């Protein structure tokens, strides 16, 4: 039952206008050469390898308010439109749990599509524009294992935090209006970005463990990143699922 719902729900989500707008932000890497000016000879972190550049791209996307706002609006509207209309289109005789899981899976697939498109755009930008025009390092990975692990941990953190955004915004949107859920999504993103700078809050965000993994054991950093993200995800998922089952259509 669940598998049969994912495809139609995903098609409904992917055809939305706000989905198209959100996916357009995957092209951000293509703008970097035009915004960076003359980088010839500069030895900055994100020009040392493609992996560094990809890390910087994903982090920039996460830190920008607009992509997060559009993604949050998309997540919220997927739930809120049917709630406001008080009609559960096409799914009247199906279990609420199956419908909820299909919506969460559809939104997650849209985000994964966004990540894949970002990776492709970053790869083309780095090797077809930045390397030949700015004489940057053409290596796929950094030269040190520590730099490789830092980039991979940061990318993992960002992917997991966006998964958390899906369930948290879903939970808020079921009880509140779309704009409220979208604002919560933006503030959640800002919290995870700013928290590493705050002494009392830094260890509540996976980003801290990605940045400071050298101070602790690598395995500890991985476990903390995954553990915190899973905890936030399960709390958001449980609340969203519980609230969705109580909605009256």
pTM: 0.92
Tell me the backbone φ, ψ of residue 143, rounded to 5 degrees. -80, -20
Closest by alpha carbon to 96, among 199, 244, 248? 244
pLDDT at 125: 93
- Which pLDDT does position 41 carry in this prediction? 42
> Residue 67 has which token pair?
């992509």
Domain boundaries of the chain, sorted by first residue: 2-246
pLDDT of residue 224: 96
Q: What does the alpha-carbon distance between residue 141 and residue 219 come to, in Å, rounded to a whole number? A: 21
pLDDT for the residue numbered 33: 74
pLDDT reported for residue 248: 73
Q: Are 12 and 44 in contact (CB under 8 A)?
A: no
Q: What is the pLDDT along the chain (249 residues), one digit of tens a residue?
A: 445 889 999 999 999 999 999 999 999 999 877 765 555 444 466 778 999 999 999 998 998 889 999 999 999 999 988 787 766 655 556 788 888 999 999 999 999 999 999 999 999 999 998 888 877 889 999 989 999 999 999 999 999 999 999 999 999 999 999 999 999 999 999 999 999 999 889 999 999 999 988 887 899 999 999 999 999 999 999 999 999 988 876
- How many Cβ atoms are within 10 Å of 85's Cβ, its own excluded? 10
DSSP the chain: -HHHHHHHHHHHHHTSHHHHHHHHGGGGGGGHHHHH---TT---GGGS-HHHHHHHHHHHHHH-HHHHHHHHHHHHHHHHHHHHHT--TT-TTS-HHHHHHHHHHHHHHHHHHHHHHHHHHHHHHIIIIIHHHHT----SS-SSHHHHHHHHHHHHHHHHHHHHHHHHHHHHHHHS-HHHHHHHHHHHHHHHHHGGGSTTTGGGSHHHHHHTGGGS-HHHHHHHHHHHHHHHHHHHHHHHHHHHHH---
- Residue 43's pLDDT is 44
Could you tell me the CA-to-CA distances from 110 to 114, 182, 201 in Å, in that order?
Answer: 6, 17, 31
CA distance 132 to 136: 7
């Amino acid at each position: 039952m669940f598998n049969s719902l994912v495809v139609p729900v995903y098609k409904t989500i992917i055809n939305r206008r706000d989905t198209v707008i959100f996916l357009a932000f995957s092209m951000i890497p293509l703008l970097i050469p035009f915004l960076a000016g003359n980088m010839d000879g500069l030895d900055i972190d994100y020009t040392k390898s493609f992996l560094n550049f990809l890390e910087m791209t994903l982090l920039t996307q996460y830190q920008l308010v607009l992509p997060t706002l559009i993604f949050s609006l998309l997540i919220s509207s997927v739930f809120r439109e049917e709630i406001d209309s008080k009609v559960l289109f096409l799914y009247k005789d199906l279990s609420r749990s199956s419908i909820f899981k299909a919506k969460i899976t559809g939104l997650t697939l849209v985000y994964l599509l966004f990540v894949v498109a970002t990776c492709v755009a970053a790869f083309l930008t780095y090797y077809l524009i930045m390397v030949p025009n700015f004489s940057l390092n053409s290596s796929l990975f950094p030269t040190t294992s520590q730099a490789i692990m830092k980039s991979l941990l940061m990318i993992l953190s960002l992917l997991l935090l966006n998964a958390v955004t899906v369930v948290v915004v879903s939970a808020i949107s079921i009880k509140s209006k779309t704009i409220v859920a979208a604002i919560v999504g933006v503030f959640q993103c800002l919290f995870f970005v700013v928290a590493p700078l705050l002494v009392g809050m830094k260890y509540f965000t996976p980003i801290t463990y990605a940045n400071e993994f050298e101070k602790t054991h690598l395995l500890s950093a991985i476990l903390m990143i995954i553990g915190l993200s899973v905890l936030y995800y399960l709390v958001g998922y449980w609340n969203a699922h519980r609230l969705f089952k109580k909605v009256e259509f």
